[in-house]
Amino acid sequence: MERRFYIETYGCQMNVADSELMLGQLGRAGYRRVERAEEADVILVNTCAIREHAEQRIYGRLGELTRHKLRRPGVVLGVAGCMAQHLRGKLMERVPQVDLVVGPDGYRRLPELIDEAREEPTLAVRLSRVETYGDLVPARADGVRAWVSIMRGCDKFCTFCIVPYVRGRERSLPADEVLRQVEHAAAEGFREVVFLGQTVNAYRDGDVDFAELLIRADRVPGIARIRFTSPHPSDMTDRAIDAMARCEKVPPHLHLPLQSGSDAVLSRMRRIYSIDEYERLVERIRRAIPGIALSTDIIVGFPGETEEDFETTRRAMDRIGYESAFIFKYSPRPGARSAEWPETVDEEEKTRRITLLIEEQKERSLLKNESDIGSIVEVLVEGPTKRNPSEWFGKSAQFKTTVFPHRGARVGEVVPVRVAAATPHALLGEGVRAATFATVEDVLT
Ligand code: SAH
Ligand code: SF4
Ligand code: F3S
């Protein structure tokens, strides 16, 4: 009998890549993927634990998915990923219909685990020091972009963060396996490769560091762009900056999480850099790669963040001038160090702080995007926008979403687009009506 498998993914790109890995494993075991949970006999949710809100949402979704088990008791309901690793057996206590809890290091044996879960509730949450899945072939989703996890885990232990506890120790894939994956992605027709890792630039395999890996990947024919996320500021070596500058396929964009502009907060977060060191790093990067676009992550309301700390962050964001920023309210994660510290910023004040930073960043992003008006950007074509099939979109080299009139461009091509207008979230080519694209959701399909 054919076995049908449904998967839903939450969280970051690493989870998206892990879901593709699981799809690869299940494909080889004879499963066929289906797009609706009602059609599946195995339902898997790949989860995130980064903030409480993420877990709440997933609990809600699991509640809905348990209906399928009521109607069809043979269905296997599995929870994978970071929340599975975080809560382990507790997840089964809270949602007794869950048959399988599998953490990020258990995917190699996924088909066997599912078979076990048909017989009895199964828990596979042992973290590994060596598992990288480098030899497994993921079933990648169609599109122009291929995710390649080049390292797993994290050894930084920022005090707010659950990742080191749910993804285990840092380990890198062998360089030849990474390069084989890049070549394989190119052969499958992907045009952009995104190297993934929680501290992606801490990559090391013997003599091959992150800089050397970029240089080697840059030589793979067929690939137009090589991106990576997220680098840690303290691992951003001059060698890596130099490699970014020299590699033709590495575009001028860098996501460089800051978290806070206040040294007191950075130190309690255990980020291992000061704001001064961070800004000097930014200077070196901008000198080496003129016109590079920077984006970042910021947390507001960390325990002990005073009004003055917050204002310091505000000023730092202004000085640095990010093209875009993801801003989060601090969320205590049981298990992470800072969860033991009393929260000093109440919800209302967190809301005030986040709203202010988001508003200011929106204005800043708009100004940055408007400064591109009149210039020509190189866009890697992704496909039609949701609103208008004759208007297509893609990313510029600076990773800005760019909308342009279709006129025969093909998916995966890099086309020049003259920027005629801008919103905080997108560049618009000549002939595109600005009003249609008020938010990024209007653009992306
Ligand atoms: N490895 C990346 C971050 C991964 S998590 C890095 O070190 O930069 C993505 C972002 O989520 C983080 O950059 C941080 O801004 C945010 N985040 C992580 N834990 C959080 C928490 N407990 N509360 C609020 N935001 C958090
Ligand atoms: Fe979390 Fe810090 Fe590791 Fe990033 S570097 S995953 S924020 S512990
Ligand atoms: Fe979430 Fe795990 Fe990614 S906690 S952000 S899915 S590494």
Segments forming the whole domain that contains residue 304: 280-368
Q: What does the angle CA 380 – CA 386 – CA 392 come to, to the nearest 5 degrees?
A: 30
| 230 shares its domain with 287 | no
Q: Which of 255, 299, 329, 361 to mutate to test the pocket of ligand 1 (most atoms within 8 A of CB)?
A: 299
The pLDDT score that the predictor gives to residue 436 is 55
**Together in a domain, 222 and 194:** yes
Residue 426, pLDDT > 60, answer: yes
- Does the structure show a pLDDT above 50 at 93? yes
CB 140 less than 6 A from any atom of ligand 1: no
Among candidate residues 348, 368, 388, the one where a domain is terminated: 368
* Residue 442 reports pLDDT greater than 80: no
For residue 343, the CA-to-ligand 3 centroid distance in Å is: 23
Ligand 1, atom 2: nearest CA belongs to which residue? 198
Dist. CA 328–CA 176, nearest whole Å: 37
Note whether 145 and 238 are same-domain residues: yes
pLDDT at 152 over 90: yes
Q: How many CA atoms lie within 13 A of 281 on its CB side?
A: 22
- Identify whether residues 212 and 301 lie together within a single domain: no
What is the reported pTM? 0.96
pLDDT of residue 2: 81
pLDDT at 1 over 80: no
Model confidence pLDDT, tens digit, residues 191-201: 999 999 999 99
Measuring from each residue's beta carbon to the nearest atom of ligand 2, which residues come in under 6 Å?
154, 156-158, 161, 163-164, 198-199, 232
293-316 residue pLDDT tens: 999 999 999 999 999 999 999 999
pLDDT of residue 431: 83
- 72 in a structural domain: yes
**Residue 27 lies inside a defined structural domain of this protein:** yes
Residues annotated in the binding site for [4Fe-4S] cluster, as ranges? 12, 48, 82, 154, 158, 161
Q: Are residues 305 and 243 in the same domain?
A: no
The binding site comprises 12, 48, 82, 154, 158, 161
Do 341 and 427 reside in the same domain of the chain?
A: no
What is the pLDDT, as a whole number, of residue 79?
98
Nearest CA to ligand 1 atom 8: 257
**pLDDT one-digit tens code per residue, 16-33:** 999 999 999 999 999 999
pLDDT given for residue 433 in this prediction = 74
Ligand closest to 158 (CA) is: 2
Q: Check whether residue 310 and residue 243 sit in a common domain.
A: no
State pLDDT tens for residues 355-380: 999 999 999 999 999 999 999 999 99
Q: What digits encode the pLDDT tens for the residues 213-269?
A: 999 999 999 999 999 999 999 999 999 999 999 999 999 999 999 999 999 999 999
Using the mean position of ligand 1's atoms as its centre, give its distance from the Cα of residue 185 in Å.
Answer: 29
* Nearest alpha carbon, ligand 2 atom 2: 158
The protein residue with its alpha carbon nearest to ligand 2, atom 4, reads 198
Q: How far is the C-alpha of 143 from the C-alpha of 185, rounded, in Å?
A: 11
Instruction: Give tens-digit pLDDT for 35-82.
Output: 999 999 999 999 999 999 999 999 999 999 999 998 898 999 999 999
Q: How far is the CA of 163 from the centre of ligand 3 (A)?
A: 7
CATH number of the domain enclosing 334: 3.30.750.200
Q: Is the confidence at residue 437, as pLDDT, over 90?
A: no
pLDDT of residue 144: 96
pLDDT recorded at residue 143: 93
Taking residue 365's Cβ as centre, other Cβ atoms within 10 Å add up to 21
**271 in any annotated domain:** no
Among protein residues, the one with the nearest Cα to ligand 3's atom 1 is 48
Mean pLDDT of the chain: 95
Is the Cβ atom of 152 under 6 angstroms away from ligand 1? no
Name the residue of 46, 50, 297 to mutate for ligand 3: max ligand atoms within 8 A of Cβ.
50
Residues 397 and 438 both lie in one domain: yes
**Which pLDDT does position 259 carry in this prediction?**
98
CA distance 152 to 147: 13
**Residue of minimum CA distance from atom 13 in ligand 1:** 297
Half-sphere exposure of 300 (CA within 13 A, CB side): 26
CATH number of the domain that 208 lies in? 3.30.750.210
Tokens 């952009």 correspond to what residue?
A: 192
Nearest CA to ligand 1 atom 1: 198
Q: How far, in Å, is the centroid of ligand 1 from the Cα of 257?
A: 8
Residue of 48, 151, 160, 163 best suited for mutating to test ligand 2, as the one with most atoms within 8 Å of CB: 163
442 lines ligand 1 (CB under 6 A): no
Which two three-digit tokens encode residue 346? 């109440």
Atom of ligand 3 nearest to the CA of 104: 2
How far is the C-alpha of 150 from the C-alpha of 172, rounded, in Å? 6
Same-domain check for residues 47 and 137: no
Encoded tokens for 22 = 């699981």
Task: Please check whether residue 265 lies inside any domain of the structure.
Answer: no
The yes-or-no verdict on residue 117 having pLDDT over 60 is yes
The predicted pLDDT at position 444 comes to 44
Helix (H), strand (E) at residue 214: helix 210-218
- CA angle (341 as vertex; 339, 345 as ends), nearest 5: 95
Q: Is residue 388 part of a domain?
A: yes
* Ligand 1 centroid from CA 384, angstroms: 32
192 and 240 co-located in one domain? yes
Residue nearest to atom 19 of ligand 1 (CA): 161
Assess if residue 148 is contained within a domain: yes
Question: Ligand 1 test: best mutation among 297, 351, 357, most atoms within 8 Å of CB?
Answer: 297
What lies within 8 Å, CB to CB, of 225 at 6+ separation is: 191, 192, 193, 249, 250, 251, 380, 397
Mean pLDDT of 149-176: 98
Atom of ligand 3 nearest to the CA of 198: 7
Domain count, the chain: 4
Instruction: Give the list of residues 6+ apart from residue 92 with CB closer than 8 angstroms, or none.
Output: 98, 101, 121, 123
